[in-house]
Amino acid sequence: MRETASKAVTLVTLRINGRAVTVPVGTSVAAALAMTDSFVSRADLSGRPRGPLCGMGVCFECRATIDGVPEVLMCLTPCREDQEVVTDA
C-alpha cells in the first residue's frame, strides 16, 4: 500500500513527445497531456485530432507509447520521473 503523501508537493518531470513537463506526483499522463500545447492524444484514420474521452481505460482514445511499451493508456498511467511518452498524434 502507498504511504499517505506529505503536505509538500513532490514534482516529477516527464517528456511528452520530446517536451519536458513538470507535474505533481500523482498526476496521470492523460492529465499531464493538457500541459503541453495541445490536448491531442492521437490522430484518427483521416488524420483528425482526438483527445482523452473516458478517463477510465474504456475508450482507448488516449493510447500512447510509454517508456517503449506501445498501446499504453495514458489515463491509467501515473507520471514518473524521466518517463518518455510518445503519442501518434
Residues that bind other proteins (CB under 8 A): 1-2, 4-5, 23-24, 26-28, 30-32, 34-35, 38-41, 44-46, 48-61, 63, 69-71, 75-79
Q: How far is the CB of 86 from other proteins (least distance, A)?
A: 13
Q: Which is nearer to other proteins, 18 or 69 (CB)?
A: 69
Q: Closer CB to other proteins, residue 16 or residue 50? A: 50
The smaller minimum CB distance to other proteins, of residues 19 and 76, is found at 76
Angle CA(13)–CA(25)–CA(52) in degrees, nearest 5? 80
Distances (CA, A) of 70 to 2, 9, 67, 85: 27, 30, 8, 10
Report yes or no: 50 and 42 within 8 Å, Cβ to Cβ. yes
d(CA 60, CA 43): 12
Q: What whole-number distance in Å separates Cα of residue 84 and Cα of residue 67?
A: 5
Q: At closest approach, how far in Å is the CB of 60 from other proteins? A: 4
Q: Closest separation between CB of residue 85 and other proteins, Å?
A: 14
